[in-house]
C-alpha cells in the first residue's frame, strides 16, 4: 500500500520580493511614539518625517513585514 510519508516534500519557501517593491503604510515614531499613517506608503531607502515631532528617518526594510527607521 502507498504511504504518503514515503514522499519527501521540498520545504515551502516564499519567493523573495525585492526590497524596493515592499510598501508599508504606517509607522510608530521611535522618538515620540506617535503613530504616523501614510496613505501613499513608503518603502526601502525612502526618507520619512514624523508628523508630530518632525524628526526625519531613512527606511531600511528587514523583511516583507518588518522595517527599521534610522534617524538622519
**Domains along the chain with CATH numbers:** 16-71 (2.20.28)
Q: Is the CB of residue 23 less than 8 Å from the CB of residue 43? A: yes
Q: How far is CA 6 from CA 1, 9, 10, 12, in A?
A: 11, 9, 13, 18
DSSP string, 30-50: TTT--EEEEEEEEETT-EEE-
Return the DSSP state at 7: S
> pTM score, two decimals?
0.74
User: CA 31, CA 34: separation in Å to the nearest integer?
Assistant: 8
pLDDT digits (tens, 9 = 90+) for 2-59: 555 555 555 565 567 888 899 999 999 999 999 999 999 999 999 999 999 999 999 9
Amino acid at each position: 500500500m502507498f504511504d504518503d510519508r514515503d514522499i519527501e516534500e521540498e520545504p515551502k519557501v516564499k519567493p523573495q520580493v525585492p526590497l524596493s517593491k515592499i510598501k508599508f503604510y504606517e509607522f510608530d515614531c521611535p522618538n515620540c511614539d506617535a503613530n504616523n499613517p501614510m496613505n501613499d506608503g513608503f518603502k526601502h531607502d525612502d526618507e520619512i518625517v514624523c508628523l508630530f515631532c518632525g524628526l526625519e528617518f531613512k527606511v531600511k526594510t528587514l523583511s516583507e513585514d518588518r522595517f527599521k527607521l534610522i534617524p538622519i
